[in-house]
Structure 1
Amino acid sequence: MLEGEKLGRAIEEARKIKGINKAELARQFGVSSQSVQGWVKTGRIKKSTLLELIAYFGKDVSPEHWGLTKAPLGYPTSGSKSQTNIGEERGPYDLNLREGPPIRGKVPLISTVQAGKWMEVIDNFQPGDAEEWRETTANVGPNAFALRVVGDSMTSLAGVSIPHGSIVIVDPDAAYCNGSIVVAKLMDVQEATLKKLVVDGPNKYLKPLNPAYSPIPINGNCQIVGVAKKVEYDL
């Protein structure tokens, strides 16, 4: 394993190979840009964080890049046993499990008030401004964030349901269309809300998934903050 300045240079080269800037790398790991700069300059980094970093760069950077003779645990390699489907040898049982998707990064869990003004604060957002940073498998952009759902307006007995207490991963850079689940901010309220966008000819609505709640007509009084890409919740 490389150490010191050599490791710092390896981190910087890996970042360039993957095509991300230092601010984005910091956001992925829930640290400050100064911390990333420290990794690059001195090569000083916790072993656990370094292993996460190596796994993050994954297929873009070979194990040899880090001075390793073999891939560390969790490193994505083709043809390895770790990529074999769980339950491939079924025997007498129907084992309905498969390996999960890879962790793609970390996103900040923020308040609905922060979400309501996300476009204004995103460039100045710091790791300490979030309730926590959550790992996610969602394929989202570098400006993504997470929100905790409160209430039952998005709970449905059929089809898609987003229950109270669940976490939604939101991508403000994703395109939205009729039927998208969006985070929106009405101009006369401070907080953002999660609803289904419905476009019916010239009319647009924010529609709850729970039929007990009424759709909200929008006509220029609404800003779409982002598109919900994934729902996560504890059982």
Structure 2
Amino acid sequence: MSMNKKQEVGLRLKQFREAQGISQKTLAEKCGWGASRIGNYEAGVRSINLDDAEIIASVLKIKPYQILFDASEIEALPNVGQIDIQPKFQNSFPLLSSVQAGQWTEACEAYSLDEIDEWYEATVKTSERCFWLRVQGDSMTSPSGVSVPEGTLVLVDTEKEHGNGSLVVAKLTDVNEATFKKFVSDGGQDYLKPLNKDYKTVPINGNCKIIGVVVEARLRLI
């Protein structure tokens, strides 16, 4: 069954949104709308007018026409040449210390660009609000399954929403620096769980802020 125009536009919107790891609810809130509006757009239930496309595009840092038209439609327009319609993403981010990472807030990054000596490129699509963190200690080292040894660089996306099983960087209220753990939700209780069984799982009871989700890991051997 072929899609109609509204469904095609909705699908493109969904692809751009998911490429940046933003939920429908988060995108709607950033646009100043109710939670269901983005879902209706993506399902093709509601048409996206130009004004709304401009608002969405501003949040996603793309152009409105990238949502409203596909490549073939753009090429067919007079005086419009071939363009790159892929979502844009910043691919170089700073390496922060665990203390700097713990001070991260949504309103203001906790570092001065002039003070950061190490920057590394990402190989995955992310939001523009990311940083690298070097893993300290062996709490995330496991003899089986996923293991992230000491010295690994992990890329933290502060705009990506965490879920059960996400590897996250978080800050406990009584600790000055960020910690890297697995987020686990079980029976209505959330936990920060080390991958190393020799370390204790920490219950989350209003004592923790999730700073971001780890989306890439890189082990430097030199």
Q: TM-score range by the shorter chain?
A: 0.5 to 0.7
Distance 2:108 2:152 in 1: 23
Taking a change above 3 Å as real, the CA distance of residues 119 and 156 of structure 1, as seen in their structure-2 partners, is: same
Distance 2:109 2:194 in 1: 31
Query: Who is 1:151 aligned against?
Result: 137
**SS at structure 2 position matched to 1:155:** coil
The answer on whether the counterparts of 2:184 and 2:192 sit within 8 Å (CA) in structure 1 is yes
Equivalent residue pairs, number: 141
Q: 1:125: how far off?
A: 4.1
Q: 1:139: how far off?
A: 1.6
The answer on whether the counterparts of 1:148 and 1:165 sit within 8 Å (CA) in structure 2 is yes
The TM-score with structure 1 as length reference comes to: 0.55
Instruction: Determine what percentage of the aligned residue pairs are the same residue.
Output: 49
User: Counterpart of 1:191 in structure 2: which amino acid?
Assistant: E
Alpha-carbon displacement from aligned partner over 1:74-129 (angstroms, at most 9, x marks no partner): xxxxxxxxxxxxxxxxxxxxxxxxxxxxx961011001111111116735743223
Query: Who is 1:112 aligned against?
Result: 98
Query: Who is 1:40 aligned against?
Result: none
Aligned to 1:60, which of 73, 78, 84? Answer: 84
Query: Who is 2:122 aligned against?
Result: 136
Alpha-carbon displacement from aligned partner over 1:118-170 (angstroms, at most 9, x marks no partner): 11673574322324111121221101000000110000111111100010000
User: Counterpart of 2:132 in structure 1: which amino acid?
Assistant: A
The answer on whether the counterparts of 2:167 and 2:181 sit within 8 Å (CA) in structure 1 is yes
Distance 1:149 1:124 in 2: 19
Taking a change above 3 Å as real, the CA distance of residues 138 and 221 of structure 1, as seen in their structure-2 partners, is: same
Rg larger in structure: 1
| Gap runs ≥5 in structure 1 | 1-15, 21-58, 62-102
Q: 1:224: how far off?
A: 0.3
Q: 1:175: how far off?
A: 0.8
Taking a change above 3 Å as real, the CA distance of residues 233 and 190 of structure 1, as seen in their structure-2 partners, is: same
Query: Who is 2:178 aligned against?
Result: 192
Alpha-carbon displacement from aligned partner over 1:199-233 (angstroms, at most 9, x marks no partner): 01121110000111110111110000000001001
User: Counterpart of 1:174 in structure 2: which amino acid?
Assistant: K
- Computed over aligned residues only, the root mean square deviation of the Cα atoms, in angstroms, reads 2.5
Within 5 A, what are the aligned runs for 1:140-179? 140-179=126-165
**SS at structure 1 position matched to 2:101:** helix
The answer on whether the counterparts of 2:171 and 2:178 sit within 8 Å (CA) in structure 1 is yes
Distance 1:227 1:190 in 2: 19
Q: Quick check: 1:211 aligned with 2:197?
A: yes
The TM-score with structure 2 as length reference comes to: 0.58
**SS at structure 2 position matched to 1:175:** coil
The answer on whether the counterparts of 1:178 and 1:198 sit within 8 Å (CA) in structure 2 is yes
**SS at structure 2 position matched to 1:128:** helix
Taking a change above 3 Å as real, the CA distance of residues 120 and 105 of structure 1, as seen in their structure-2 partners, is: closer
**SS at structure 1 position matched to 2:165:** coil
Distance 1:202 1:131 in 2: 42
The answer on whether the counterparts of 1:104 and 1:138 sit within 8 Å (CA) in structure 2 is no
Aligned to 1:224, which of 207, 210, 213? Answer: 210
Aligned to 1:202, which of 188, 197, 213? Answer: 188
Distance 1:124 1:194 in 2: 18
